[in-house]
Amino acid sequence: MRTVARDWNATRIGDLREKTAIVTGANSGIGFHTALELGRAGAHVVAACRDAKRGEEALARLRAAALSGSFPGSFPGSFPGSFQLASLDVADLASVRAFAERFLATAGALDVLVNNAGVMAIPTRELTVDGFERQIGTNHLGHFALTGHLLPALRRSRAPRVVSVSSLVAYWGRIDLHDLQSERTYSPGGTYAGTKLANVLFMLELGRRAPWLTSVAAHPGSTHSTNLLRYGGAASRFFVSVIGQQVERGALPSLYAAVGEVGSGEFYGPGALLQLQGPPAQIKLPKRAGDLELARSLWAASEELTGVRFLLEPPVQKSA
């Protein structure tokens, strides 16, 4: 296991000038603070958001906060980058394709892709516009398709990195490939946990299939003030209010995964109090993530459902 400095925080990100990052779900919560600190360190950050109004409000807050250092633990960056708002609904494959096509047509290399957006514990089974169960469609299939579409831009980077944002509940997650859409059995928490295990399985399989990029996962622990809690019950909200950490600290594992000394196949989360809070640390993978056949089968099913095939050959190295 790698050792992460116990006092690692956003002030230690370093100089990200000339780097480009995409963060999905950047209008709030973990995504907002991940985008903010990458931009404060000098990166050009594409804040990919579903809701235009909330996205515009978040963009204004990002630009103001990047210069002011107004959040605890933030560093008044010496290398202020830039922020760009882009429309993306990861629960809609047409939106995913359109976003990727716009990015590929107007941008160069993509250095960091943070697959962060998600939904959690929807009370009753819902479908996306593509007919997928909403949690698997948003949390896994949409990001699977997005990553596949963006591979040409990742291939242009000298050190491309893909961060899959999972959850502590991935340790309890189960995936039934014969009921991937939860048609036979749906439970808000159980289905959510399965999608978070899918994030880790995707991270691992991507790293195996594309060793020329770094594929790593992270989870925020128990964190206050995220939109994921909108469907949580009173007990869940009370637990988080007592034991949870501030959202800017919950973003630290994602940030370390995006910029730290990491390798493909690694998982990062809070290093204290049973991974519920604390500075980022490398953590053990969920036991079910070691099932290679499950990972390969989930990949094949994801290709079939999304229609996206990955261009996995290594980039051609240009001669000096």
- Could you list the active site residues? 192
Are 20 and 42 in contact by the 8 Å Cβ rule? The answer is: no
> Residue 293 burial (CB < 10 Å; 0-12/13-18/19+)?
exposed
- Amino acid identity at 110: L
279 closest CA partner among 260, 261, 256, 295? 256
Helix (H, G, I), strand (E, B) or coil at 11: helix
216 touches 262 (CB < 8 A): yes
Strand, helix or coil for residue 87: strand
Pinpoint the alpha helices (H) of the chain. Answer: 29-40, 52-68, 93-106, 134-136, 142-155, 188-209, 234-243, 247-250, 252-259, 292-306
Q: Please compute, for residue 53, the number of CA atoms within 13 A of its CA located in the half-sphere on the CB side.
A: 0
Residue 30 DSSP SS3: helix
d(CA 255, CA 67) in angstroms, rounded, equals 19
**Strands lying side by side in the sheet with 112-115:** 82-87, 44-49, 20-24, 112-115, 161-165, 214-218, 267-272, 277-283
